[in-house]
């Protein structure tokens, strides 16, 4: 799904003079909350990518003698229960959140996209069956579904991604189906049929690219919730299988018992989760507003 | 042999609110290269007739319930979908009403034109591109090679309709269906686009079905006209005959509801009273009876067939000598059609069956 997304953006970018995408970008940059969100995202992604370079210590390095140090010059954010540097672990934690979050959303996009495309493109009985399956998925609370999947498949990074992905499949499936259904009656789809284009071609070339805008917006918003879900599952002890892995949720659950003597161990990972989630939320909202042609100024 | 033979075409829509009787037995012929106008008000079945010919009725509601459509010797009603797809664009092309929405906003003009060409011809992208430039030049787009990579939103409405015409002509179809091609355009552009359409179809020998509610459009464009009302053809004639001697009360009504500039003295506009019938009901009697000033008692119960005005005339269904036919029990006389109302001494339109004789304003409720 990521490949078609890129190829869709590409022709948009070439309509240089007064194109839809350029207008959207201009509006996005004028939108102050969205810019703040972009700053948050840049910090988050930079932390994830540059962690091995900028982190002052190794993510697992530390001695028990150094534990529970409050923030100081040597350890800017203090040290944790094992004497490991908190800042280092938060930077490395961004890696897990970014990697798991992005891959999980891509997986959800692909699965939900295929279901939605088949349902909206083919219609009829297949549509009805697929949408009932999606309804069943929606009826189960997301976090419960994720816990169930991890319980079933055992703990692991891949399982974590899959568990989070499955909970977001219904969102993308419904969204894409809805857009496609609306497009099916559009004049240019009838026009494409009138020149003898095949069904598959109409779906892939004429309908999908036009249906992707809301999907891109909601993928951004879903990424924010996915980051919170990762931390939530980590907090419940269902995060990465190696308990030493620096992961924000796991760090929170480890620090929970020492809240009275080392409160910074809760504040900083919590802050990291909030900043990254708010970043994607603000950008998602900004994208929705800037891509909506009705708001064109 | 006729290029297109439509016989007793019946199209219905099955909806949640019941069956819509959209087209109720339409028959007409079209010679190769002939131009035919299909005239009627909104909802009279003119667009549905043509979507049915293309087998592009909205699914699953729309159905061809009966009749035959023969195109170039092929039965279009029973043709397999894959063969039908081969036919669309290549043999029969279509131009839609609104050029603003008939082009895909995310694809360039080149991509859409090349797609049309390559859908039916094995050519390289380069050859298709050359052909696309040639076509854009033909429809009067200046500097076509520079405009080819533009997106639809960079064109004006008239330009887009020119692009649509270029795409429709790309494969030299035998039949072109233009569904209200100028309705969405500025008046100043309408004439240009119509002239372009007329010239290009004449040059290519393409038969043209022009759907419109505007009698002014068909007057200069077509050789023959079918007037449709509520899913029936109520009058058919050559364009000259139709304007010289409109003979169905509906056609008379249509002509009297538009102002004309070529009249020596100003004529009174006579609107057609009432609204078209509810097509969710099976038609009983003449569909125009409730609005007709000439109706007889028989009009309420019996739908007249389409027959030649001159009963002794040899029936010619297409070409320049086509017989003037109407479906009417009580056609207006020449004087009456000029006046736009019945002139006979003491004539009153027949009241709907079962109503008081004085009630001269029948409503649909009474009909039911």
pLDDT in tens, A40-84: 999 999 999 999 999 999 888 888 888 888 899 889 998 998 899
Candidates A22, A127, A195, A203: best to mutate against B (most CBs of B within 10 A) is A195
Domain extent for A118 = 32-53+83-295
- Tell me the C-alpha distance between A268 and A108, whole Å: 29
What are the CA-CA distances from residue B351 to residues A94, A228, B300 (Å)? 83, 75, 9
| A175 confidence band (pLDDT: 50, 70, 90) | very high
CA distance readout (Å), A195 to A85, A198, B96, B355: 65, 9, 12, 52
Q: Could you count the other beta carbons within 10 Å of the beta carbon of residue A85?
A: 24
What per-residue confidence (pLDDT) applies to B366? 47
Residue A71 lies in a domain: no
CATH number at residue A163: 1.10.3720.10
| pLDDT tens per residue, range B17-46 | 888 999 999 999 999 999 999 998 888 888
CB atoms within 10 A of CB A171: 23
Helix B157-169, helix B109-120: angle, nearest 10: 20
Asked whether residue A4 carries a pLDDT value surpassing 80, the answer given is no
Provide the domain count of chain A.
Answer: 1
**Running DSSP on this structure, what letter comes out for residue A197?**
-
State chain A's mean pLDDT as an integer: 87
Contacts of A93 (CB under 8 A, 6+ apart): A246, A247, A248, A251, A269, A272
Residue A238 lies in a domain: yes
pLDDT at position A297 is 44
pLDDT above 90: residue A146: yes
User: What is the four-CA torsion angle of B336, B340, B341, B345, rounded to 10 degrees?
Assistant: -30
* pLDDT band with cut points at 50, 70 and 90 for residue B267: low
- For the segment B91-139, what is each residue's pLDDT rounded down to a tens digit? 999 998 888 888 988 888 999 999 888 888 888 888 999 999 999 998 8
Of A11, A19, A196, the CB nearest to B89: A196
The 8-class DSSP code of residue A226 comes to H
Instruction: Catalogue all structural domains in chain B, each as residue range(s) with its CATH number.
Output: 4-222 (3.40.50.300), 233-309+320-368 (no CATH)
Mean pLDDT of A192-217: 87
Query: Tokens 């002794």 correspond to what residue?
Result: B312
ipTM above 0.90, yes or no: no
Q: How far is CA A129 from the centre of its chain?
A: 28
- Residue to mutate among B106, B154, B155, B181, with most A CBs inside 10 A, is B106
What residues of chain B lie within 8 A of the CB of A12, using their CB? 106
H or E segment to which residue B217 belongs? helix B215-221
Q: Is residue A261 part of a domain?
A: yes
Question: Contacts by A71-79 with C-beta closer than 8 Å and gap 24+?
Answer: A71/A264, A77/A264, A77/A268, A78/A262, A78/A264, A78/A265, A78/A268
In a domain? residue A72: no
Of chain B, the percentage scoring pLDDT greater than 70 comes to 93
Report residue B62 as tokens. Answer: 């729309």
Q: Is residue A148 part of a domain?
A: yes
| pLDDT of residue B357 exceeding 70 | no
Q: Which of A124, A197, A210 sits opposite B115 (nearest CB)?
A: A197
- List chain A residues with CB under 8 Å of B104: 188, 192, 206, 210
For residue B60, say if its preceding peptide bond is cis, omega within 30 degrees of 0.
yes
What is the number of residues in chain A? 297
Specify if A124 maps to a domain. Answer: yes
Q: Does position B257 have pLDDT exceeding 90, yes or no? A: no
In percent, the amount of chain B with pLDDT more than 90 equals 36
Percentage of residues of chain A with pLDDT beyond 90: 56
| Residue A100 lies inside a defined structural domain of this protein | yes
Predicted pLDDT at B355: 61
- Residue A12 falls inside a structural domain: no
The verdict on a CB contact (< 8 Å) between A124 and B107 is no
Res. A247: pLDDT tops 70 = yes
């Amino acid at each position: 799904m990521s490949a078609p997304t890129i190829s869709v953006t590409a022709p948009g970018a070439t309509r240089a003079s007064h194109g839809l995408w350029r207008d959207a970008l201009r509006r996005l940059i004028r939108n102050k909350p969205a810019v703040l969100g972009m700053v948050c995202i840049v910090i988050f992604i930079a932390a994830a990518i540059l962690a091995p370079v900028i982190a002052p210590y190794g993510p697992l390095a530390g001695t028990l003698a150094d534990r529970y140090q409050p923030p100081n010059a040597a350890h800017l954010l203090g040290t944790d229960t094992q004497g490991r540097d908190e800042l280092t672990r938060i930077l490395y934690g961004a890696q897990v959140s970014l990697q798991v979050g992005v891959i999980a959303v891509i997986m959800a996009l692909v699965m939900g996209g295929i279901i939605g495309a088949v349902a909206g493109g083919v219609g009829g009985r297949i549509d009805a069956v697929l949408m009932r399956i999606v309804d069943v998925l929606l009826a189960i609370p997301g976090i419960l579904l994720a816990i169930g999947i991890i319980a079933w498949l055992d703990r692991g990074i891949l399982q974590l991604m899959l568990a989070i992905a499955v909970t977001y499949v219904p969102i993308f499936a419904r969204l894409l189906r809805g857009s496609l259904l609306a497009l099916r009656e559009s004049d240019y789809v009838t026009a494409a049929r009138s020149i003898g284009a095949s069904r598959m071609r109409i779906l892939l070339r004429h309908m999908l690219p036009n249906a992707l805008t809301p999907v891109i917006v909601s993928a951004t918003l879903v990424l924010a919730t996915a980051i919170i879900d990762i931390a939530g599952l980590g907090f419940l002890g269902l995060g990465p299988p190696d308990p030493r892995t620096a992961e924000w949720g796991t760090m929170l659950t480890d620090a929970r018992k020492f809240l009275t003597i080392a409160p910074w161990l809760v504040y900083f990972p919590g802050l990291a989760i909030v900043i990254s989630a708010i970043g994607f939320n603000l950008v998602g909202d900004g994208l929705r507003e800037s891509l909506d042609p009705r708001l064109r100024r | 042999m006729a290029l297109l033979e439509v016989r007793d075409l019946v199209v219905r829509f099955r909806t949640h609110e019941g069956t819509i009787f959209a087209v109720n037995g339409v028959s007409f012929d079209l010679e190769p290269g002939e131009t035919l106008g299909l005239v009627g008000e909104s909802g009279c079945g003119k667009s549905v007739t043509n979507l049915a010919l293309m087998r592009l009725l909205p699914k699953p509601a729309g159905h061809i319930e009966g009749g035959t459509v023969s195109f170039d010797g092929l039965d279009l009603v029973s043709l397999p979908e894959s063969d039908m797809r081969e036919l669309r664009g290549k043999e029969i092309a279509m131009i839609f009403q609104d050029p603003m929405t008939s082009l895909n906003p995310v694809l360039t003009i080149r991509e859409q034109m090349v797609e049309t060409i390559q859908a039916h011809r094995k050519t390289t992208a380069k050859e298709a591109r050359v052909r696309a430039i040639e076509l854009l030049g033909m429809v009067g787009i200046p500097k076509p090679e520079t405009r080819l990579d533009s997106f639809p939103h960079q064109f004006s409405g008239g330009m887009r309709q020119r692009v649509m015409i270029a795409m429709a002509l790309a494969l030299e179809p035998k039949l072109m269906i233009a569904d209200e091609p100028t309705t969405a355009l500025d008046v100043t552009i309408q004439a240009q686009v119509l002239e372009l359409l007329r010239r290009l179809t004449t040059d290519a020998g393409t038969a043209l079905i022009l759907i419109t509610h505007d009698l002014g459009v068909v007057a200069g464009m077509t050789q023959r006209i079918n007037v449709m009302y509520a899913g029936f053809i109520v009058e058919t004639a050559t364009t000259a005959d139709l304007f010289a001697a409109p003979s169905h009360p509906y056609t008379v009504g249509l002509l009297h509801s538009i102002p004309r500039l070529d009249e020596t003295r100003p004529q009174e506009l006579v609107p057609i009273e009432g609204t078209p019938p509810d097509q969710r009901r099976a038609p009983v009697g003449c569909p125009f009876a409730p609005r007709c000033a000439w109706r007889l008692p028989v009009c309420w119960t019996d739908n007249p067939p389409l027959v030649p005005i001159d009963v002794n005339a040899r029936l010619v269904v297409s070409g320049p000598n086509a017989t003037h036919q109407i479906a009417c029990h009580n056609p207006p006389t020449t004087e009456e059609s000029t006046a736009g109302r019945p002139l006979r001494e003491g004539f009153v339109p027949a009241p709907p069956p079962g109503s008081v004789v004085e009630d001269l304003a029948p409503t649909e409720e009474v009909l039911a």
